[in-house]
Structure 1
Amino acid sequence: MLKLIDPVLGPDLLYILRAMGHGDEIAIVDANFPAETMGRQVVRLDGIAATHAAEAILALLPLDEFEPEAAFVMQQVHAPDELAEICREFEAQVDRASDGRFGVKSIERFAFYERAKGAFAIVQTGERRLYGNLILKKGVITPPSQD
């Protein structure tokens, strides 16, 4: 256990977050997502909600401010122009973590799968709500001003 770090972030996930470089992406996915078939590192957080995992990760992970979007969710197949309830929760989390700089960009289901295949790692949660999938693009931490 460490101070100020959510205990759902175990050693494997903390290592991944630290090892990621600028522009690398991490996918936080629900229990139905085909994580193991993506061919990437998979960290399992069984029994943990995707929104809990996202909150813990967003507390540590800077988002890529050099890009117009740094957070992506999966479009609903039956209503592509509507964000699923869980995606609206992700959007609020991303908004808070980025001080209003980012929301989420919704992408088509199979495009989301393709993007997840290129992610540095996939965090598979126990989330049972449909469309509980989020991809985050890592940014940089700027050095303090030398004034």
Structure 2
Amino acid sequence: MKKSTLINSDLSYLVATLGHTDEITICDAGLPIPNHVRRIDLALTHGVPSFQQTVQTMLDESQIQGVVIADEFVTVSPEHHAVLIEQLKAEEARCGKTIAVTYISHEAFKERTNDSRAVIRTGECTPYANVIFQAGVTF
């Protein structure tokens, strides 16, 4: 049996097959997901699993070099945004690499999900609790 944190087989496969600069989206329960993009639906009920839990698990399992966040997340859900930034700073300290943070409009964010390898849907019901991870390398 797998020893690391992530035991979801779909997410494990996704992480194992990511290449440098591939993008994955972690989203709240309401973000529209393009039909042609792989959907990994983790949502069980409101808030389960949370956006923050899912982000942390994916940070524990994968190397990222950048994130994309909607501008609206900062102003509409500032507490959740602050936690995400704390998680990213902790990851930078842990891996010794800088994670670039890019802000775009929510409309541009939704358009960018078209290029994601997959969209991971959480049970989060906080507005704009969405992030795009850009895969980095461990070397």
TM range (shorter): 0.7 to 0.9
Which residue identity does 2:17 align to in structure 1? Answer: A
Segments of structure 2 that go 5 or more residues without pairing to the other structure are none
Q: Does 1:90 pair with 2:84?
A: yes
**Residues 92 and 103, structure 1, Cα contact 8 Å, conserved in 2:** no
How far apart are 1:87 and its partner, in Å?
Answer: 1.8
Question: Aligned match of 1:138 in 120, 129, 135?
Answer: 135
TM-score by length of 2: 0.85
How far apart are 1:126 and its partner, in Å?
Answer: 0.3
Larger radius of gyration: 1
Question: How many residues are aligned here?
Answer: 132
Q: CA RMSD in A?
A: 2.1
Segments of structure 1 that go 5 or more residues without pairing to the other structure are 65-69, 143-147
**Residues 77 and 127, structure 2, Cα contact 8 Å, conserved in 1:** no
Which residue is 1:43 aligned to? 40
- More helix by percentage: 2
TM-score by length of 1: 0.80
More RCO (CA 8 Å, sep 6+): 2
- Identity, % of aligned positions: 25
**Residues 73 and 128, structure 2, Cα contact 8 Å, conserved in 1:** no
Which residue identity does 1:118 align to in structure 2? Answer: D
- Deviant stretches of 4+, over 6 Å: none
**Residues 72 and 134, structure 1, Cα contact 8 Å, conserved in 2:** yes
